Amino acid sequence: MPKVGMEPLRRKALIEAAIAAIGARGSLDVTMSEIAGIAGVSSALAHHYFGAKDDLLEATMRHLLSELGRDGCAALRAAPQPRARVSAMVAVSFSPTQFRPETVAAWLAFYVEAQRSPAMRRLLRVYARRLHSNLMSGLRPLMPALRAERVAEGIAALIDGLYIRRALKDGPPDPRSAVALVEDYVETMLATEARTS
Amino acid sequence: MPKVGMEPLRRKALIEAAIAAIGARGSLDVTMSEIAGIAGVSSALAHHYFGAKDDLLEATMRHLLSELGRDGCAALRAAPQPRARVSAMVAVSFSPTQFRPETVAAWLAFYVEAQRSPAMRRLLRVYARRLHSNLMSGLRPLMPALRAERVAEGIAALIDGLYIRRALKDGPPDPRSAVALVEDYVETMLATEARTS
DNA sequence: TATTTTTAATTGACTGGTCAATCAATAAAA
DNA sequence: TTTTATTGATTGACCAGTCAATTAAAAATA
């Protein structure tokens, strides 16, 4: 039984606590004590492991981002055909692990923070670029490059739009109708493409 | 020359200052002193006219909302034909008065706030409902009701998505490409509709 | 008209509370 | 004995909201 240092455990617990706190409050306006409390430690310990609050928040964002990245890669590996790759990316965006109220609230809050913090903006751009290139890997074989770019932009905007609009509703999210809306977009664009080329 | 009380003037100045401050900070995390400073008065005066900070923020949101409403009504009055009504709503969303960095930042911040504050959520829902019914007034004559609902949802999600993605970019917004993307969506949906009915 | 009185506009100074960040101290492992 | 883990207490800054005091305008009165 390999005894291991506390550091990684605490870091993980604190990051998850941060997501929970942000999800509950619905914004980044959470205190270190709150987060630490959820993680079951003192606020001093949170500072010990993360330094400043912003660092913890940035680490939290990174965590969300890498989780999404991991899910995305896995989904793509299981989808070799172009059309399926597009659907895979859409499905991941609204999968139960991503499209939860806490996660949605956190993403939203980070988008707002991105306006102030260049670091956050950079991170969000990484997400946007990755989504874009993943979508392109599915769309390029199906239509002219310029058109594919346009459709990828549309899909991305639709996804983000459905995320933000989710903030207006209460009750559990409805991933099925969200996916249906985006899939309908993709399908219609493909049909039009087939007809005009 | 009718001498008028200061109240309406100050209220307006403070609301505009609030938008400016929120736009500059990129979030609702602004102080009363900051806002009052921009308006050229003391923070005590801001409290005098608005009571609590939340009241000023809510008034600011209402102002944004009514401005958008006014622009929307004007645009609709000038567009009697169904197809034009849809374009009018899209155009208004990205018109120079709406699609400015400060305004976009403010809308975004209010979406986040809506997760916490039921009052804000109610206001945003008013906006969503109004946009939806305006879009429907244009779409209903052009396609079956169920389909129209779906397309209206898509347009709304696209608009909000393009707003939020605007937060990632720096430099002035590019309304033209945003409008083009949404119009392309509308056009494609209409074409598909015409073909399959 | 000149004067007093009332009302509106405005602020500086203050208060109480909150919170990030620090640090010295303690406990536990290695 | 050195390193790691952990906290309670504290500090310093910031900020929303209050209030008493001041000035300026309007209204009322002589």
Q: What is the pLDDT of residues B168-190, one digit of tens each?
A: 888 888 999 999 999 999 999 99
| Number of CB atoms found within 10 A of residue A40's CB | 11
Does A109 contact chain B (CB < 8 Å)? yes
pLDDT at B5: 83
pLDDT at A1: 38
**Least Cα separation, residue B129 to chain A (angstroms):** 11
Options 3.40.190.10, 1.10.357.10, 1.10.287.110, 3.90.320.10; CATH of B59-196: 1.10.357.10
What the block records as the tokens of B177 is 């490409």
| Distance of alpha carbon B48 from the chain centroid | 28
Query: Which parts of chain B register pLDDT below 50?
Result: 1-2
Does B27 contact chain A (CB < 8 Å)? yes
What the block records as the tokens of B10 is 């100050």
* Residues 123-162, chain B, touching A (beta carbon < 8 A): 124-125, 128, 150, 153-154, 156-162
- C-alpha–C-alpha distance, residues A74 and A134, integer Å: 12
Helix ranges, A1-100 (H): 6-25, 32-39, 43-50, 53-77, 82-93
Query: Which parts of chain A register pLDDT below 70?
Result: 1-3
What the block records as the tokens of B93 is 């969303």
- C-alpha–C-alpha distance, residues B14 and A27, integer Å: 25
What the block records as the tokens of B3 is 């001498």
Per the listing, tokens 């940035």 go with A58
| Number of CB atoms found within 10 A of residue A131's CB | 21
Residue of A nearest to B170 (CA): A115
pLDDT at B161: 97
Tell me the CA distances in angstroms from A192 to A18, A40, A85, one per residue in order: 45, 55, 19
pLDDT at B177: 97
What the block records as the tokens of B74 is 């004007």
Q: Which residue of A160, A174, A187, A189 is the best one to mutate when testing the B interface, meaning the one whose CB has the most B CBs within 10 A?
A: A160
Residues 2-41 of B with CB under 7 A from strand D: 3, 30-33
Tell me the CA distances in angstroms from B82 to B85, B153, B194, one per residue in order: 5, 17, 15
Please tell me whether residue B180 adopts helix, strand or coil conformation. Answer: helix
CA of B24 to C1' of D19 (A): 32
Asked whether residue A12, judged by its CB, lies under 7 Å from any atom of the DNA or RNA strand D, the reply is no
- C-alpha–C-alpha distance, residues A83 and A132, integer Å: 15
A61-196 CATH fold: Tetracycline Repressor; domain 2 (1.10.357)
Q: Which residue of B168, B169, B185 is the best one to mutate when testing the A interface, meaning the one whose CB has the most A CBs within 10 A?
A: B168
| Number of CB atoms found within 10 A of residue B34's CB | 18
Pick from B6, B49, B40, B5: nearest CA to B20: B40
Asked whether residue A126, judged by its CB, lies under 7 Å from any atom of the DNA or RNA strand D, the reply is no
Closest CB to A114 among B114, B153, B168: B168
Closest nucleotide to the alpha carbon of B44, via C1': C11
- The residue type found at A31 is T
- Kindly list the residues from chain B whose CB atom is less than 8 angstroms away from the CB atom of residue A150: 181, 184
Closest nucleotide to the alpha carbon of A3, via C1': C29
Pick from A6, A120, A116, A5: nearest CA to A60: A120
What the block records as the tokens of B186 is 């509308």
What the block records as the tokens of A146 is 């310029």
pLDDT at B2: 41
- The residue type found at A141 is P
> Does A160 sit within 8 Å of B121, measured CB to CB?
no
Tell me the CA distances in angstroms from B105 to A64, A159, B143, one per residue in order: 23, 19, 35
- CA dihedral angle for residue A144, residue A147, residue A153, residue A156, rounded to 10 degrees: -60
Pick from B124, B127, B149: nearest CA to B72: B127
Strand C interface, protein residues by Cβ within 7 Å:
A 3, 30-33, 43-44, 47, 51-54; B 5-7, 10, 41-45, 48
Q: Buried b / exposed e across A90-112, counting CB within 10 Å, b at 16+?
A: bbbbbbeebbbbebbbbbbbbbb
Domain boundaries along the sequence of chain A: 61-196
CB B17 within 8 A of CB B57: no
CB B101 within 8 A of CB B173: yes
Closest nucleotide to the alpha carbon of B56, via C1': D16
pLDDT at B80: 96
- C-alpha–C-alpha distance, residues B64 and B56, integer Å: 12
CB B162 within 8 A of CB A164: no
Closest CB to B112 among A109, A157, A192: A109
Pick from B104, B87, B76: nearest CA to B180: B87
What sign for the dihedral angle of Cα A68, A70, A71, A77? positive
- Kindly list the residues from chain B whose CB atom is less than 8 angstroms away from the CB atom of residue A26: 112-116
CB A138 within 8 A of CB A86: yes
- The residue type found at A32 is M
